[in-house]
Each structure stands twice: as C-alpha cells, then as structure tokens.
Structure 1
Amino acid sequence: MLRNSNYMYGSKDLVLPARIHLGEFMLDRMWSVKEKTLYINGSTNESITYGQTAQQAMNFSVSLTHMGVRKGDVVAICSENRFEFWGVIIGGACAGAVLTTVNPGYTEGEIKHVMSISKPKYVVLSPYTYKLHGKTFKSLPYIKTIIIFGEHKPSNALLYNDLAVSNNNGSGNVIVNNYLARNVKYEEFEAVDVDGQTDTLFILYSSGTTGLPKGVMLTHLNVLSSCCAPTNLSTDLLSLTIAPWFHTMGLNGALLGMAYSRTAVHLPKFDVDLFLRTIEKYKIAQVTVVPPVVVAVCKAPGQYDLSSVKIIYSGAAPLHKETEELLKTKFPNIEAVMQGYGMTETTLAVTRDTYNQALPTKPGSVGRVAAGVTIKIVDIDSRIPLGPNQSGEICVKGSLVMKGYVGKDRDSDFDSEGFFKTGDVGYYDEDGCFFIVDRLKELIKYKAFQVAPAEIEALLIEHPAVRDAAVVGVPDKAAGEVPLAFVVKQAGQAVTEKEIQQFVAERLSNPKHLRGGVRFVDAIPKNPSGKILRKELRKMVNSKKSKL
C-alpha cells in the first residue's frame, strides 16, 4: 500500500515497554530515581520525592486489592492538586482499576452526569471536595466506599493515610485489621496484569464546550504512547505548572514529566502575582500554561525577575503569534515559545513543537505531527483530503487516539479509515507545521464566508484597553450570522463599543467586522483548561444583562 501524499505522518521513533502497563512502567521509573524531588508546592514550599510517591502507590494498590477492587473496577478521584493525588492514580493503575478524575468545580448536576457515565464503586476526596460534594457522592447508589485525604475521618469513610502511608518498614502482613501495617517492599510488589492495548486506564470527560461532557476512554497504550514520546529537553530544567490534574493536559502532562524524572513546582490555583513570584523565587526555567494565563501574565503590572525562564509551553487553546510577541517582551531570556495541539480524546498533543534548532518553531504554529500519529486535513463538505495551506477538518489516527466514548458507537466519531474526526479546523504548511483555525461548530457563517472567532479574539487582546475577549455569532436575517464580541476591560482603561468596532474594522476584512456589537463583561466563562465556554455566552446573547 502506498502512502497518501496529503497525509502527514509522524515519526516511528516511539519505544514502548514490553509490558503495556502504565502503573508498572511509572512505578519502575519512579523507584529508579527515588531520592529525587518530584513536586514542590509553590504555595507552602513542601516537597515530595519520587520514592515517597511510589511507596504510597504500592501501599494503596495492595490496600485497594484487599478491599475488593478488581481489574476493571472504577475508582474516582475528585481533588484539587495535592501530593496524594499521584498515589491514587499510580496505585489504582497498579491494581488494574479504571481511574476517573472529576473536576472539583462541577455543580451537583454535573457530578451526577459524569458519574452516571463511569459509575465508580470507590471515590477519593480531599477534605475540601468532601465538604463541597460529599453529600452528592454519598447519594449515588453505585459508590460503595469513600476515601478521604488528610487526618479527619468522617463517619462511614476511610482515610487515605490508613491505606497508603506507613512508617513501618518491617516484615509480616502488609494489611492487619483492614489497615496498612507496614510498607510494601518494591521487590515484593507485583502489579495486576492488564491487556494494555485494549483495557481502559482512564475515563476522562470531554471539555463540554459545545455540549454535555462525554466519557473518554483512554487505554494504557494511549497514555504510554504519550509518556514515551521522544524529547531532547534537559530533564534538569525546573518547571512550573498550574494545570489541574483532573484534566488531560495536567494529568497526562504530569505523567510525561514523571516518565522523564523531571522536578516540577506546582501551584494549587492561578494567581498572577503568586505565579510570577514563584518563577522569581525558584528560578523556574520552563513554564507550562494555557493562553488566558499568558494574557494575564503579559498584562500584569509590577516588576519581577523572570530572567530564568527559557522555555514556555502553551496548550489547550491556540496561542496566536501576536500573543507570542507579547511574551518575548515579558521574559527577556526566552529561547522558545512552544505549542502543542491535542484534546482529551487524543490523550495529549498530536502535534507539538520540539526544542530543536534544526526544526525551528513558527509563530502561531502548534508544531509538527507527533510520533506514532497520522493526520489528514479533509474538506468539510466533500471529506476529500487536502494539501498544504488548505483549511479543513483535522482528522487523527494513531496510538494516542482514544478507545472511544463510554456507551457510544465509534461510527459517528471515526471515519471509514479509522481517523478520529476532531471537529477542529486547521491546516498544515509546506514545512509540515500545523495551524489551528477554530472549532468547526464555532465558525460563524457570515453570508458565504466562514469567520473564525479565534482570529478576532486574538486581535481584540492586542488593544491596550482589553484584558480578555470572546466572540460568538448572532443570528442576522440578511447575513445568517454576524460576530458579536464580549470584552473584559483592562483595569483603569476606558473604551467604547464604537472604538472597539472601529479597531477591528481597520484591521480585519469585511466579514469579520463586529456587526453584532460589543458587550462589556466582568469575565469570560472558561473551562479549567482555558477554553472559552461559548455556549454560556450564547445564553447571554438574548439577555439585556452585560455582566456575567
């Protein structure tokens, strides 16, 4: 069979372990560097080593098995970023469980919706999420056991520390009276066998930017393909992340870092002053962010020593070249601004920039196709594969692409060749660099033109009086749809609707003018990964309120 000249093929340079088992792979990697620091909490300055985390994982895995967890049982975790999170994830994987991560910011209705998809038997909560959502989880009939981080033990719950933390390194039984009696020894531990190519490891939830979240099934192979991706970055670069670990970018991005034995500083939530002070304090060399954070950082007042930063990774939403230029003014010694493109359904990035002078990054590009991945761009109507510099729907195939959605047939989401239809519009250039235009469902249909909201948003952010912006289409009898902008003003700045409309009209072509008007709001609604929740904005279109 011949290769299709319009398909873009990633490198075959992807080396996987003989046993396709994420838990076993991570445990072996972590134990080999057990004295090295894994995470530092930038807010509290506390730290944890790879060895401490691996020990918790082995202990927790044995405790889960003793409690009756069997291969394929679902264990949920709903927690803010804290060290114990990884004992649950890696320990659960070693026990053969399916892990599902739940956004602590979900409402009661959203928790019930996603839990009805995965139906976990066990759920792990932090004290914060127990107080917030404990009643909701207790009300779900399929949950048989609740496990709590921390020292306070609510009634009818178990403490994580009783299952995963011990100071006793002696011999004898590991579990006594349903409690951990001693640490499991690495040389005596054996992970539960799985069929890593087909068995589900994670059930994550799609972003829900265009509808209710769906349950995305990722296999051990999917996640290992991400963790084993080749890299030429130094493992000694200290990095900073604020990505929530319940989301694929934070979860699988962190596992990738662990696979390469990196040390990272994490913050439990984003605060621009704390973020910049943390860079200054720890001399951070590499930063992983989402575009809204980039914008906030670039427009933040105050003086900070950011000279240590060499590399910035951005993901979850497009980072436009204009914003990249702003970054270079904020970070004086920056060597590369790198992007990747992916989604929950593709585990992590299926295109990415590499730190390689032979393959330099291009402003606005999300990089080249990742190892083990094939991508085609197809015409939205005819589905014919397109060549360079032609925009169409991005379709992806390879070991990073999900097994499927829980309870949903694959036929509507995959084409006859096995390519996943992403719903994103983009193109690649003659050098194989990919560029994202917009979500297929978010394109504004102005007469015969397709207008990408992201392009207008990138321009609006350039305005000195604009701190953030989002654009949606509103119905118009003559044109079909016209763009309307929601704008967050920069503090202390004054600007009018007419001035914003004129700013856009002077810089973009006629179909992209803000004929729908401008609404000034306090904030743009976004999901945890930074994607704009346009469905929430559309609810406001017919409202007379201008505040979110």
Structure 2
Amino acid sequence: MLRNRNYLYGSKDLVVPARLHLGDYMIEKMWSVREKTALINGSTNESITYGEVAQQAMNFAVSLAHLGVRKGDTIALCSENTFEFWGVVIGVACAGAIVTPVNTGYTENEIKHAMSISKPKLVVLSQQAYKVHGKTFRSLPYIKTVIVFGNHRPHNTLLYNDLAVSNNNGTGDVFVNNYLARNVKLEEFDVVDVDGQIDPIFILYSSGTTGLAKGVMQTHLNVLSQCNMPKSTNSDIVLAVAPWFHTMGLNNTLGTLTTGRTSVFLTKFDLDVFLKTIEKYKIVQMTVVPPLVVAICKAASKYDLSSVKIVYSGAAPLQKETEELLKAKLPNIETVLQGYGMTEATLAITRGLPDHKQKPGSVGKPVPCAVMKVVDIDTRVPLGPNQPGEICVKGPMVMKGYVGKERKADFDDEGFYMSGDVGYYDEDGSFYIVDRMKELIKYKALQVAPAEIEALLLEHPAVRDAGVVGVPDKSAGEVPLAFVARQPGARVTGEEIQQFVAERLSNPKRLRGGVRFVEAIPKNPSGKILRKELKKMINSRKSKL
C-alpha cells in the first residue's frame, strides 16, 4: 500500500470516455467540429473537413458489416499518408474490428511475416501499394477481399470510394447491388460494442531493430489514454511527417484529430517540401524525429521558418548539442520538447510540456497514470537517481501484449513492461536515455553507448549522418566502428574522424574499429538506426575504409 521510493509516478490527470470505444469517441469528436479542416496535404495543398472524414468512417463501417466483417476480425491497411487512411482506421474501429497498418516499404518476406502474425481477412491498399505489393497480399490464403483507394479498379477488387463515399444524402436503402447508395446518417448510426480494456484496436509491428518484428496489440483503452494526454500546444495547425503506419504518426495524428486542430501531412518526405510547407502554412508546432532535426540544422536557409515556436522530437534521443543547433537555426523558437515512448506503450511514457521547463537532453517526466522504474540489468533491483539501468513501465498506455506470446516473457512479476532501453532519472524525476541494452558495445567489460558517439559525429561539419556498431575484437571483446555519410562535397578522411572522436570522448569510446563511408545510414520509418543492417554491411563492398 506504500509507494516505492525508487518508482516514479505520473500525475492522475487523465480522463477517458466511459464507453472505452475509439470509434465512438472519434465520430463524436469529429462531428462536433465537422465544418473545420481536419487534414491538409502539404504536397498538393488539398484538404478534407472533419465532417467528410467522419462521414467516410461511418459509411465504411456499415460497408464492412455488409461485407461480413465482424467484431474481432483484422483488417490490414497498407498505404502512404493519404486522406482515405482515416476513413479506414476510424471505420474499422466503429465496426469493432482491428486495424493492422503495414509499412509500405516492407519487402515481400517482411509482409508475409507480419501478416502471418495478424492474419487479416481483408486488406485495404493505396494504388501505389497495390502496384508494389498487390501480388504478395493476394498470395495469402486468409485474405479474402482486397479494397483499393482511387478510381482505378484492378481485377477482382473493390473500390474504397464505392464503400465509403456517396453524394446522395437521401433516404432508402444504404446499399444497391453492393454499392453505397447514400450516406449513413449520424442519428441512425451506432458502433459495434467492444470491451475497451482488453479488445485490441491496432496490431502494430515493433521496429525489429534487433530481430523479426512482433505484433503489438494496442487496446481501445491504450489509444484513448494517449489521445487524452495533455497537449503540448493550443496551436490551430500542426505539422507532422511520420508515416501513419507507425505508432508515432498514427497515434499522434489521432490525438490531433480529437482536438479540432488541423494537421498538415506529407504523402512522402522531401526536405525542401517540408521546409516550404512550414513557410506556406506558418507552422507554429512541428513533430519530428532526430535525423530530421539534423537535416533542418544543416539545410541552407532558403525558407522563412520564423513561425516555428515549438518543436517536439521523439522516436530516438535528441542530443543536447543538436538541440542547441536547432535553436540557433529557428529564430523564434520558444522550446524544444522531447518525449520517450515505444510501440509497446502506444506512444509516449515520458514527455515535456511547454509550461514545464524541460532540461536539455532529458526526455521529460512520466506521463499521467504511468508508473516507471529503473532496475539493475543483472539483479533487477530498482535503482535510485542517476543510476543507469533498464527502464520498466506500467499504466493504461502499455500494450496488452504481443500476438501469440505469453506476457511473462516481457512483463515482470509486478506487471511492468521491460523495455530493453537503458536510461536513468535525476533527483527531479527527469528521464535520460542511454541506449538499447542489446546495442551497447562491450569494450573490455565497459558499456559503450553508440548513441553518444553518433551524437558527437553529427557535430562534425563534414558529417551528414552517422551510425555506430560494435565489431568483434580478440583483446577487447568489441570495439566501436562508425559508418559515416558525408555532407555533399565534403572531404574528410577516416583518420580525421577517428582523431575528432579521440579528442572529445574517453578511451573506450574511440573508433578502434575504424570508419566506413556510405551513401546513407539505414533507418526505420521512425528514424531509428537499423544496426543489424549496418552489421551486414561490415563485410560488404558497399562501404569502404
């Protein structure tokens, strides 16, 4: 009954709807502001209102029921960021089914692996995703129906527009010959009941940086908890570029859509278009990942970025030095906020807010209703301030578990999810991330964090991007090796890079494994470095000393 003095507790300032149904909640919220602009495509400047999104969602939900979709069925969604995405997500939620967003950049084998986890009975694809992956999805025996966006109908498919979009607001039958004959009216619509505490709404795939992706089950309660977290700004328009198949893009945008604000998105990322969009829409707040922050800092000052006041960074640690460069780049910036989260916790478990000054390098404090502890990696004993160990968390935002896997492998006896991330908190309760446990380099039994070396490398004017891994060494166990992508036109040698690090970091962190120059550092959609891909490149001719 007494709180553990080595646990950190978020506030209890979190309110969720009693029905615990994401679809019901989203329709209510969106319909109340139906005349407002919900989404703007920054690439094309097209827009869609909240009412249009809600109408598509209601229509699609009823169409799914007409197609035989029932509570608990899984629907795969493979698409770049596009307006129709949200009609599908919210429509599936209303139908009591489960959405499993699929990375558009997956290979054939990665799609087959992910789908073998969730086994969807229906898949929704954008036109581009159908061209690239349609054959793969059609080869899966459990997928019975294929729905595509757009007006071009591939053979033996259904069109989303025929199921979700109607210009007829009259009465009569909703369907004629399996086509939507009229819009579903709000007063006649109801969602399929779910048990929001235990029923999943999403099956997402963990980043797989240390192995095959796992299916993360996020419940209605998990997602509603994140949607109702305190917002970082009251700005009417926000810019976020994370792909919506990733938890950062998916749940951040859902949170924005519950507030009546306008979210500007890009179908695909282009730095020049991104900066131009900031200028055009006078963006006040933007949500980014650290590699994008670095790119902004090193980009030529071609556009007016003076409107930006708040930058929210997530998915990976943003180093203090990079934060200072960003503040120098953006003339009117008021605060740079960081958060720490993971797919397994739906979104964030720590974050900073504008009205609470965030310490440089910190990822903030626990979000409302989160309970966190840092434990010794070997003894599992909870640690006090400034002692690095594994970060563990529990609360309403933490996933139900992995599909087909017992919870005891990933949750401790007290119900804490064991993150695999190494970090610590200070006397004030602010958290700091060191690195992934499995990514720490063991140099003569000393732990070396690749992220620290990478942050330093990014300070070098000739370095555009960098990734560090450990390579075997007979005498030391492992030594750090750096992969470096040069700035265009820059000339720097591996020896110069090694000397730069040696002059600034302690002896175990020196690049004894050498430096290899590459065109780009492989990363997942959230910006995390794919170290397993770097290790594959060690013996490849694609990189050179």
TM-score band, normalised by shorter chain: over 0.9
Aligned counterparts, 1:488-507, within 5 A: 488-507=485-504
- Cα pair 1:41 1:265 within 8 Å, conserved: yes
Partner of 1:541: 538
- Residue of 349, 358, 375 corresponding to 1:378: 375
Deviation, structure 1 residue 231:
2.9
Q: Distance in 2 between matches of 1:235 and 1:398?
A: 28
Post-superposition Cα deviations, 1:186-217, rounded to whole Å, max 9, x if no partner, equal 11110000000001110000001011100000
Rounded Cα–Cα distance in structure 2 between residues aligned with 1:329 and 1:68:
56
- TM-superposed CA distance for 1:303, in Å, is 2.2
3-state DSSP class of the match of 1:365?
A: coil
TM-fit CA distance, 1:547: 6.3
Contact 1:235 1:260 in 2 (8 A): no
Moved more, 537-546 or 425-434: 537-546
In the TM superposition, 1:27-426 aligns within 5 A as 27-231=27-231, 233-236=233-236, 238-356=237-355, 359-426=356-423
Q: Which residue type is aligned with residue 172 of structure 1?
A: G
SS in 2 for 1:202: strand
What's the CA shift string for 1:191-248, capped at 9, x where partnerless?
0000000011100000010111000001000000000112362152x21111100000
Find the aligned partners of 1:282 and 1:20 in 2 and give their Cα distance: 35
Which residue type is aligned with residue 478 of structure 2? E
Secondary structure of 2:457's aligned partner: helix
Amino acid at match of 1:270: F
CA distance in 1, matches of 2:542, 2:130: 34
SS at match of 2:357: coil
Using the alignment, how far apart are the partners of 2:487 and 2:390 within structure 1? Answer: 35
**Root-mean-square deviation (Å):** 1.0
What is the DSSP-based 3-state SS (H/G/I as helix, E as strand, rest coil) of the residue aligned with 1:421? strand
| Deviation string, structure 1 residues 481-510 (Cα, Å, up to 9, x no partner) | 000000011111111111111100111011
Q: CA deviation at 1:174?
A: 1.1
Matched AA of 1:457: E
State the shift of 1:115 in Å: 0.4
Code of the aligned partner of 1:543: S
- Structure 2 CA distance, aligned partners of 1:450 and 1:257? 40
- Paired residue type of 2:438: K
Measured against aligned partners, the alpha-carbon deviations of 1:78-110 in whole angstroms (never above 9, x if no partner) come to: 000000000000000000011100001000010
Which one is further off, 168-177 or 395-404? 168-177
Q: Secondary structure at the match of 1:156?
A: coil
Distance 2:462 2:231 in 1: 40
What residue number does 2:443 align with? Answer: 446
Between the aligned partners of 2:153 and 2:106, the Cα distance in structure 1 is 24
Aligned partners of 1:413 and 1:421 also within 8 Å: yes
Per-residue deviation at 1:270? 1.6
Q: Distance in 1 between matches of 2:381 and 2:284?
A: 43
Whether the aligned pair in 2 keeps the contact of 1:522 and 1:547 (CA below 8 Å) is no
Structure 1 residues not aligned, in runs of 5+? none
Q: Which whole-Å CA distance do the structure 2 matches of 1:493 and 1:125 have between them?
A: 41
Matched residue SS, 2:252? helix
- SS of 2:211's equivalent in the other structure is coil
Closer, same or farther in 2 for the Cα pair 1:448/1:232, shift >3 Å?
Answer: closer
Structure 1 residues 182, 547: CA separation in 2 closer, same or farther (over 3 Å shift)?
Answer: farther
Distance 1:179 1:133 in 2: 26
Counterpart Cα distance in 2 of 1:545 and 1:476:
22
What is the letter of the counterpart of residue 305 of structure 1?
D
Q: Secondary structure at the match of 1:493?
A: coil
Report the Cα offset of residue 545 of structure 1: 3.7
Using structure 1 for the length normalisation, give the TM-score.
0.98
Aligned AA (1:72): G
Give runs of aligned pairs for residues 410-489 of structure 1, distance below 5 A.
410-489=407-486
Give 3-state SS (helix, strand or coil) of 1:462's partner: coil
Cα offset, 1:281, TM superposition: 1.0
Q: 1-side partners of 2:281 and 2:494: how far apart?
A: 42
Q: How far apart are residue 155 of structure 1 and its match?
A: 1.3
